[in-house]
Amino acid sequence: MSERKINPILSIHEVATAMNSTHDPDGLLELILDRCIQISGAESGSLMLINDKESLLDVITTRGMNLKLMSEVRLKIGQGITGMAASTGKGKVVNDIRTDPDYIKVKEDILSELVAPMIVEGSVIGVISLDSNRLNAFTKDMFDIVTVLANQAAQIFKNLQTFRNLEQKTKIQATLIEISKVVTSSLDINEVFSSIMNLLDKSLKLEKGTIVLFNKEQDLLKIVAASGLTSDEMERGTYQIGEGITGKVFETNEPVIIESVGDDPNFLNRVGYLSHFNIENSDLALIAVPIISDQGKLGVVSVFLDNHKHMDLKSYLDFLLVVASIISQTIKINKLVDEAKKEISRENIQLKRELKNKYRFGSLIGKASNMEKLFEKIQIVADSRASILITGESGTGKEMIASSIHYNSSRSESPFVKINCAAIPENLLESELFGHKKGSFTGAVADKKGKFELADTGTIFLDEIGEMDLNLQSKLLRVLQEREIEAVGSVKTKKIDVRIIAATNANLEDLIAQKKFRPDLYYRLNVVNLHTPALRDRTEDIPLLINHFIEKYTKDNSKEIRGLTRDAIKILLKYNWPGNVRELENVIERAVVLSQGDTLDVEDFSEISEKMVTPEIRQEPISSDSSELVDVSSGTFSSSHLDTLDGRAMEAIVNEVEARMIQYAMKKFRYTKTRVAKFLGINRNTLDKKIKELNIEY
């Protein structure tokens, strides 16, 4: 046979170009072998890589040979022509294998063989073996080209392995970042575990994977999350401590890498999810690491990997140890969250009990007949579904009535949401009531639930309903009629079950006449009307309210106020209270806070005394003419009367004048003794003494 004409430069360029066009190591090795066979004209060939652990040559790819047969032969390093090339790093051409004693026959019709080691950085990583059924099939030029290609391929193959390792580490880092995001994105631990397994599957291209946790109650290890398992398979995945690979990792707290689970006697395959693998011949690898906390053992995370010849399993083990630590922290955080939830639940129950006590019917203060009628009506309507309109002046306790209705109804365990329609700008009130979708208006950076949705199954209290604009009134009417809401920017409606209690200090009928309030909405809201009387119409309740507020604010401010003086009570009873109960509460709170004694006196309510003095009295001039104060010609000081005061005339007249002056001043300054004493030019103690001596009533 004539010698083949080979262009070595062109061949090397073609192979180098082809090799640089792929990042798949297996595909690269197949490409190298194909090119070498084409260049040399060989009928068959194999590419083998050194297996350092077993000191063998593993057949990676072959052409024209029985792959199963080649795998079973498994040449040792130093065995045969191929094994010696791997051992010594020296290639060889044998053009008549019958004359070479080192040749080991693997195929009957082979007559010539060319062997070239794959060398990179002085180390042999594999061998290319080419075979021919012709004698003298290979030339020196062919050997040189194949040797160059083999070494070039070895370098590129190592570069690809380095690149693959870097890619693997980058992927691991990116996966850890994603897992960290998952852990902080949900408080549902099962959802977190499932997401972690999905990320592991995506990153590591798992065959299967599991998170197994120890169940103390059952004294078993049980699968809580998995990749590639059905729910039935997960149910079968239970292990005793020390049982199988999973049980031993949990028992010893030692991670393991098992490169071939079929060769490990501890592998149980209990779940049966590897049935589609030939376990005995499979190179399926298992990595299992313990999940440990500072309080002890928690479980095991395991992954099964196939086609792992080019994987850095140690890096994956280190990666899984970090994942196990994250799982441990997730479990710890979940326990803390559960404890916090339980505490919040306990506090919530306690708060609801306190609110029920605060707003129970028996805690409402008032014995006036109009209040008793109001309380009776509240008890009747509390547990109904009817809408309620509470009317009355500001400060009469409309919000407290609404709270009492809610907390004494069957909705008491559901939300009670309050909103003041007058306190929110018109352009924002609709969003506040019904919610909005992201992007529906400037500033809507996220979806937001409205008050109605938050109050679902409960009660919503709309205070100052008379301030709502007509456009929004029509939308509120629809809520009342259809029992559904539509968020701003949304095209979908949402059904709700909310009881509406509205309140106003305005006369809605006047607003209807002025076309400022919809009559149909008024009738919908005013199914039941509750009118809260002004404090001036229930004056008999003032002492009860005073005692209640003194007790409340004395406790809040750590004071020891026993009560009020008679003079102080008289002032509070005579005042008109335009601000109603709210004003009374503020006055008592201020007096308690500022008081330096244990009894509240007139001086503690000076602002009330000031309000009780009319402008006319304030501006009334005091004449220096004593006749305007004491008329000596009057009946009291007539001549006949004075004659009876022989020896006491001066004292009697002075006492009478003083009494009249004190009574005048008391009336003028509305019984504020400090002001009276100042006006008369005497001190407070002298004033009290005079009142007692002169038996002055006021």
pLDDT per position as a tens digit, 606-638 = 888 777 754 433 333 333 333 333 343 344 555
| Residues contacting residue 500 through CB under 8 Å, at least 6 positions apart | 387, 388, 459, 460, 462, 479, 480, 525
The size of the chain, in residues, is: 698
CATH number 1.10.1060 given to 613-698: no
Supply the mean pLDDT for the chain: 82
Locate 254 and state its tokens: 């030692």
pTM for the whole structure = 0.49
Q: Are 308 and 287 in contact (CB under 8 A)?
A: no
Q: In which residue ranges of the chain is CATH 3.30.450.40 found?
A: 8-165, 186-336
DSSP secondary structure letter of residue 4: P
360-533: CATH homologous superfamily? P-loop containing nucleotide triphosphate hydrolases (3.40.50.300)
Please tell me the predicted confidence (pLDDT) of residue 620: 37
Cα of 382 vs its chain's centroid, Å: 35
Q: Burial, 139: exposed, middle or buried (Cβ in 10 Å; 0-12, 13-18, 19+)?
A: middle
For 555-572, what is each residue's pLDDT tens digit? 899 888 888 988 888 889
Higher pLDDT, 588 or 305: 588
DSSP state of 133: S
**Measured distance CA(258)–CA(31) in Å, rounded:** 31
End-to-end CA distance of the chain: 146
Q: Where in the chain is the domain with CATH 3.40.50.300?
A: 360-533
What distance in Å separates the CA atoms of residue 70 and residue 130, rounded to the nearest whole number?
14
Whether the CB-CB separation of 599 and 640 falls below 8 Å is answered with: no
Q: Is the pLDDT of residue 303 over 70?
A: yes
Q: Which CATH architecture has domain 186-336?
A: 2-Layer Sandwich (3.30)
153 closest CA partner among 38, 5, 55, 17 = 17
**Of 204-213, 280-289, 331-340, 671-680, which range is least confident?**
280-289
482 neighbors 434 (Cβ within 8 angstroms): no
CATH 1.10.10 residue window(s) in the chain:
613-698
pLDDT value, residue 1: 42
Question: pLDDT band at residue 184, thresholds of 50, 70 and 90?
Answer: confident
State how far the Cα of 607 lies from the Cα of 626, in Å rounded to an integer. 31
Rounded Cα gap, residues 659 and 661, in angstroms: 5
528 pLDDT above the threshold of 90: yes
Task: Give the class (CATH, top level) of 8-165.
Answer: alpha beta
pLDDT at residue 593 tops 50: yes
Question: Pairing relation of β-strands 388-391 and 208-215?
Answer: unpaired
- List 448's β-bridge partners, or say none: 436
